[in-house]
């Protein structure tokens, strides 16, 4: 069984026709195949896991940033692509004193 229309080349879609399932095209073509036609769609879960630096902070660059937890003025930072590729990277900061991690949206 082919999944493409022999007339126009479009993808054939399942459709109920007189109590049987057939493959049909938007151009009007209908398959003669009376077997069941079914399309299943599987949607993958988006992975929202962020890699937080836990060890060897000394290899990260430092910047002047006030920690919202302890008020310390120094933090390590790194960037990570967390959204679509056409959007800017997200900047993460990690306090040198209390190790609190936060995002910088400025």
The residues annotated with a catalytic role in the active site are 86-87
Residue 97 neighbours by CB distance under 10 Å: 13
Contact 39, 13 (CB under 8 A): yes
Question: Whose CA is closest to 30, among 49, 47, 45, 17?
Answer: 17
């Amino acid at each position: 069984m082919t999944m493409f229309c022999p007339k126009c080349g479009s993808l054939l879609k399942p459709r109920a026709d007189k109590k049987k399932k057939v493959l049909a095209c938007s151009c009007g073509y209908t398959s003669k195949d009376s077997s069941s036609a079914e399309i299943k769609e599987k949607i993958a879960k988006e992975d929202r896991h962020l890699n937080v630096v836990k060890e060897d902070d000394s290899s990260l660059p430092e910047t002047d940033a006030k920690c919202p937890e302890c008020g310390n003025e120094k933090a390590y930072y790194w960037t990570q692509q967390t959204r679509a590729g056409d959007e800017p990277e997200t900047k993460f900061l990690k306090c040198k004193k209390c190790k609190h991690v936060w995002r910088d949206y400025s």
